[in-house]
Amino acid sequence: MPSEGSLWDGRIIAVAKPAGISSFKVVSRIRHACKIKRVGHAGTLDPFAEGVLVIGIGRTATRQLGDLMRGDKEYLAEVVLGVTTDSGDLTGNIIARSDLPMPTTEAISSTLDNFRGEIEQIPPMYSALKIGGERLYKLARKGEIVERKARPAFIHELELVRVNEDGFVIRVVCGHGTYIRTLAEDIGNSLGLGAHLRSLVRTRVGEFKLEGAWDLGKLTEVMSAGMVAN
């Protein structure tokens, strides 16, 4: 008789990660629910971010995650202008404010033109990148800042969705290794105001789309009950 875990072994699924928990916590919940030890994800989402998290369950599936991580990703990002934080998002401490007026829609659109195609980014301190064998975010939490070299990134699509009182929302389709918080900061700096992310939603990873992703609570409920869905 197959175990509950074997029903999910070998599957790759998309989960809609809610804001407020880490990607590791999502993996931990799924591991506990499906009773399979080897569970992994393709591309970390920060705790404040939400959206598509691709999960591999079992040895065969997790081996495929590396290739999936290199696929294109799509995001909706809400950018706040005039306020800079040490983390580049709303969870950080404010380190600078600008009194300059908000730019026009035309000025924002014109600035976005400079960020399409191949760009260079300096990885943020609050990232999972390892330097000297340690994750940058761990160093940042200890108040340490280390030198990071600029890295190439590719922005396939960059669309201004709407302009708000204090910023704007953009849709981004990008290649592997792109930091959206850095993109937001760089756009804000180009506008002379600085910026940070208020929210970030990953709407697609490769062929996995948010509208087809599992709700985390529903998924763990189904797994715990020993059921499987096609």
Q: Known catalytic residue: 46?
A: yes
- 176-196 burial, b if ≥16 CB within 10 A, otherwise e? ebbbbbbbbbbbbebbebbbb
Euclidean distance between CA atoms 55 and 219, whole angstroms: 12
CA angle 171, 55, 119 (to 5 degrees): 35
Euclidean distance between CA atoms 216 and 190, whole angstroms: 38
CB atoms within 10 A of CB 200: 23
Catalytic residue among 46, 86, 89, 186: 46
Q: Which residues contact 8 (CB under 8 A, 6 or more apart)?
A: 34, 36, 57, 58, 223, 228
Helix (H) / strand (E) containing 60: helix 59-63
Q: What is the CA radius of gyration of the chain?
A: 19
Euclidean distance between CA atoms 211 and 190, whole angstroms: 34
Euclidean distance between CA atoms 85 and 102, whole angstroms: 18
Helix (H) / strand (E) containing 103: none
CA angle 86, 92, 94 (to 5 degrees): 65
- By annotation, the residues acting in catalysis are 46
